[in-house]
């Protein structure tokens, strides 16, 4: 026990030592500029954090895929003309929507960096600038859809389905402003690590879309039977409901109050918008490059006969469904890496990047095993036609081979977005998909007439090349002390 004199002296020293100041309620503690060594979190803990973020995104991805499935099935009940119009119109719509979504995906790493750097007001400032960008993108989508619709007959679309396709396109395009504004809020919510609202909105959207199809496509509850146009109307209204739900959640829920998203209306700032475009346009180009390769592959299959097209569709649909999981894990990796870099924890960012890539690759390896062992049973879920089944089984074997490469490339792409490194990855993806994958698929499958399997060998080569190049790029970027890429958006903070 200390003597009373020493005890009094120590008490005096404690009283003279200033206590640390608590941060204001609407701010966060400033992050240290030094990157500490990775301590404490194990791979299992990090995998748990990834799963917590990714699980709602997986549900979101599956729900959105379910909307497309419901549109196709319900349009099929209307007849071949309406089904063809929905298929053609939706393919054009999805390409334009992917372009806009890719640009707005820049919000996810930007918001994650602001969150990691304990700058909550910057999160709101990012979104208020993104509103202007979303409206600009929506206007661009409307123009592109109009221009594409005018070219349908010139590119060889059956004149009988052109009028119905135009009705579908022009109706669904009215949902562009709502969906672009929704996406801006969605990626902000992702960046701060709140992914549950995205899941809730997607599940409600799925139910709303199916109900709207029933009402407007088939003329129920007193509505006129609009066919394919009714399908587009239902989708456009669903987009509006998604925006309203996301606005309500972000305006009312306590998780979003700190960021003051709706405190004021900021005027558009050219520097801020250019910074966002500099980050988002390369993401958009990379996403469209990959989606474009698969779309062109489907067109190649169309030259090989109906059974080949059907078998390709079966194999691609199953592979795409399995891809929803690593796609969500990739988005979660972007968030985790961006938040670590925002707080200047570069070692932690590397740890999170490698963990995210490992999670994507491990799941796709499991998917490959399922395809190899159970591919015949999988095909039976889709079709009993012997010719189609034979093609689908052979293509699922090829799909199993590129699963691991697909997991590597999508995981590395997500990690690089977290580093805000998008321009070089865009160039690498263009090289992999269009200078390696597409020429090889065309040469082997069509020029040498080796068949559908060899078209997919070209896809395998493209994905494998992308995986190698993106992993190489990440290994270089992760060694730099400061995250590369466009400068983060800087706007003045709102007054308290």
Burial of 481 (0-12, 13-18, 19+ CB in 10 A): exposed
Query: Which pLDDT score, from 0 to 100, does residue 240 have?
Result: 97
In the chain, the percentage of residues whose pLDDT exceeds 70 is 89
**What pLDDT, in 10s, does the model give residues 134-189?**
999 999 999 999 888 888 877 777 788 889 989 999 999 999 999 999 999 999 99
Query: Which pLDDT score, from 0 to 100, does residue 482 have?
Result: 55
Band of pLDDT at residue 314, cut at 50, 70 and 90? confident
Using the predicted structure, report yes or no on whether residue 487 has a pLDDT greater than 80: no
Q: How many CB atoms lie within 10 A of CB 443?
A: 14
Cβ atoms of 403 and 363 closer than 8 Å: no
What does 100-129 look like in DSSP terms, one character per residue?
A: HHHHHTTHHHHHHHHHHTT-HHHHHHHHHH
Cβ atoms of 153 and 159 closer than 8 Å: yes
Q: Which residue has 């791979």 as its token pair? A: 43
Using the predicted structure, report yes or no on whether residue 22 has a pLDDT greater than 60: no
What does 41-85 look like in DSSP terms, one character per residue?
A: --HHHHHHHHHHHHHHHHHHHHHHHHHHHHHHHHHHTT-HHHHHH
Rounded to an integer, the average pLDDT of 394-411 is 92
Alpha-carbon 245 to chain mean position: 19
Using the predicted structure, report yes or no on whether residue 254 has a pLDDT greater than 80: yes
Bigger pLDDT: 58 or 157?
58
233 vs 94: CA distance, rounded Å: 16
Write the secondary structure of 247-313 as one string of H (helix), E (strand) and C (coil): HHHHHHCHHHHHHCCCCCCCCCCHHHHHHHHHHHHHHHHHHHHHHHHHHHHHHHHHCCCHHHHHHHH
Two tokens, residue 416: 């690089």
Using the predicted structure, report yes or no on whether residue 471 has a pLDDT greater than 60: yes
Query: Which pLDDT score, from 0 to 100, does residue 132 have?
Result: 96
Cβ atoms of 465 and 86 closer than 8 Å: no
Query: Which pLDDT score, from 0 to 100, does residue 494 have?
Result: 42
Query: Which pLDDT score, from 0 to 100, does residue 251 have?
Result: 93
Query: Which pLDDT score, from 0 to 100, does residue 209 have?
Result: 96
Cβ atoms of 92 and 162 closer than 8 Å: no
Query: Which pLDDT score, from 0 to 100, does residue 383 have?
Result: 80
Query: Which pLDDT score, from 0 to 100, does residue 265 have?
Result: 85
63 vs 58: CA distance, rounded Å: 9
Rounded to an integer, the average pLDDT of 274-285 is 95
Burial of 176 (0-12, 13-18, 19+ CB in 10 A): buried
**What pLDDT, in 10s, does the model give residues 202-227?**
999 999 999 999 999 999 999 999 99
pTM reported for the whole predicted model: 0.85
Q: Which residue has 């990775």 as its token pair? A: 38
Bigger pLDDT: 42 or 128?
128
Using the predicted structure, report yes or no on whether residue 17 has a pLDDT greater than 50: no
Q: Which of 7-21, 184-198, 370-384 has the highest mean pLDDT?
A: 184-198
C-alpha distances (whole Å) from 68 to each of 198, 209, 269, 332 are: 18, 10, 37, 24
| Closest of 206, 276, 318 to residue 420, by C-alpha | 276
């Amino acid at each position: 026990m200390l003597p009373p004199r020493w005890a009094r002296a120590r008490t005096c020293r404690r009283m003279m030592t200033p206590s640390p100041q608590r941060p204001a309620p609407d701010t966060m503690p400033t992050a240290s500029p030094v990157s500490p060594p990775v301590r404490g979190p194990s791979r299992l803990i990090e995998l748990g954090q990834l799963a917590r973020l990714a699980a709602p995104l997986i549900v979101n991805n599956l729900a959105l895929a379910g909307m497309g499935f419901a549109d196709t099935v319900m349009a099929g009940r209307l007849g071949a003309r309406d089904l063809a119009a929905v298929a053609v119109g939706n393919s054009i719509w999805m390409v334009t929507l992917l372009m806009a979504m890719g640009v707005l995906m820049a919000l996810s790493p930007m918001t994650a960096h602001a969150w990691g750097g304990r700058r909550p007001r910057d999160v709101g400032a990012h979104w208020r600038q993104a509103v202007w960008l979303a409206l600009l993108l929506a206007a661009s989508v409307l123009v592109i859809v109009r221009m594409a619709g005018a070219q349908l007959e010139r590119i060889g679309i059956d004149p009988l389905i052109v009028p119905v396709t135009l009705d579908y396109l022009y109706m669904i395009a009215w949902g562009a402003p709502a969906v672009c504004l929704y996406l801006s809020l969605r990626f902000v919510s992702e960046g701060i690590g709140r992914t549950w609202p995205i899941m809730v909105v997607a599940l409600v959207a799925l139910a709303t879309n199916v109900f709207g199809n029933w009402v407007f496509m088939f003329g129920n509850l007193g509505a006129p039977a609009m066919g394919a146009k009714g399908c587009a109307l239902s989708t456009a209204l669903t987009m509006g409901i998604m925006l309203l739900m996301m606005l309500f959640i972000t305006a009312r829920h306590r998780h979003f109050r700190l960021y003051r998203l709706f405190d004021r209306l900021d005027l558009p700032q050219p520097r801020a918008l250019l910074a966002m475009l500099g980050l988002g346009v390369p993401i958009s180009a990379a996403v469209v490059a990959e989606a474009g390769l698969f779309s062109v592959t489907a067109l190649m299959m169309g030259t090989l006969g109906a059974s080949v097209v059907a078998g390709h569709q079966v194999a691609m649909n199953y592979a795409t469904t399995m891809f929803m999981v690593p796609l969500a894990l990739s988005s979660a990796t972007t968030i985790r890496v961006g938040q670590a870099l925002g707080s200047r924890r570069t070692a932690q960012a590397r740890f999170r990047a490698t963990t995210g890539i490992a999670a994507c690759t491990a799941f796709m390896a499991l998917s490959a095993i399922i395809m190899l062992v159970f591919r015949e049973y999988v095909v039976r879920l889709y079709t009993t036609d012997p010719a189609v089944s034979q093609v689908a089984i052979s293509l699922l074997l090829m799909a199993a081979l590129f699963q691991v490469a697909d997991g590597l490339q999508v995981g590395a792409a997500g990690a690089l977005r977290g580093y805000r490194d998008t321009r070089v990855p865009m160039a690498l993806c263009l090289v992999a998909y269009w200078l390696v994958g597409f020429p090889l698929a065309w040469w082997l499958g069509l020029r040498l007439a080796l068949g559908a399997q060899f078209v997919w060998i070209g896809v395998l080569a493209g994905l494998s090349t992308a995986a190698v190049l993106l992993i190489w790029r990440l290994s270089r970027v992760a060694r730099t002390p400061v995250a590369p890429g466009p400068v983060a958006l800087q706007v003045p903070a709102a007054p308290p």
